[in-house]
Amino acid sequence: MHELAITVIGPDRTGIVADVAEALAGVGANLTDSTMTRLRGHFTMTLICNGPSLVEAREALSGLVDVVWEVRSVSPESDKSDKGQPYVVSVHGADRLGIVSAVTRVVSAAGGNITDLSTRLTGTLYVLIAEIDLADGAAEELAEQLAVAAAELGVEVSLRHADSELL
């Protein structure tokens, strides 16, 4: 079984997701995990699929106009079970160079694995939200280190446990 990693980027327009999905369905691609969003008006889609060969997937996407895409063969990974606890990091403040780099370096140094991250720039306000997987007991120290980094950057930061309730 081929597992393929595909990215598609282009100007956003109505129907673009349907066009990409239809092109891939046409060559028997089964979409597994995917994410799609608009980044400053650009349509961006990243997905994993299986079924078609590299060549078939590339042929399917070559019919799309006005987008750039990339198809790569990847080896199937078993879902790594995260061992720690889920936390959410929120950062907001005046935009400046290096916010993402400084914050994520602090998270990484504390052994936190980022599992999801989005940033948005709106006017001069910069916002970063990250989901991280953090070892038990590491939160307090990370919160202190994030506070130091945030003070240097002049932004606000918070770290909170993303507790979910089993019902």
Partner 1 sequence: MIAWDGPSGSVLPVVTAPSTVLSTVGDEVDPADPAVVQLAADLVATMKVSPGCVGLAAPQVGVGAQVFAVDVTGHPKAATTHGVFVLCNAKIIEASRWKAGREGCMSVPDLTGDVKRAGRIVVAATLPGSGEEVTVTTDAFEARALQHEIDHCAGKLFLDRVAGAHAIYQRKVYL
Binding site for partner 1 (CB under 8 A): 35, 37, 79, 81-82, 84-86, 115-116, 118, 131, 133, 162-167
User: In one letter, which amino acid is 91?
Assistant: V
In sequence order, the β-bridge partners of residue 131 are 88, 116
Closest distance of CB 63 from partner 1, Å: 26
Closest distance of CB 161 from partner 1, Å: 10
Q: State which residue, 76 or 154, has the beta carbon closest to partner 1.
A: 76
Q: State which residue, 18 or 167, has the beta carbon closest to partner 1.
A: 167
Instruction: Say how many C-beta atoms besides its own lie within 10 A of residue 52's C-beta.
Output: 20
Q: State which residue, 81 or 101, has the beta carbon closest to partner 1.
A: 81
Rounded CA separation 137/143 (Å) = 11
Closest distance of CB 133 from partner 1, Å: 6
Rounded CA separation 42/119 (Å) = 14
Pick from 111, 107, 102: which is nearest to 89 by CA?
107
Q: State which residue, 96 or 161, has the beta carbon closest to partner 1.
A: 161
Rounded CA separation 6/19 (Å) = 14
Q: State which residue, 51 or 86, has the beta carbon closest to partner 1.
A: 86
Closest distance of CB 59 from partner 1, Å: 29
Rounded CA separation 160/152 (Å) = 21
Closest distance of CB 112 from partner 1, Å: 12
Pick from 115, 118, 134: which is nearest to 126 by CA?
118
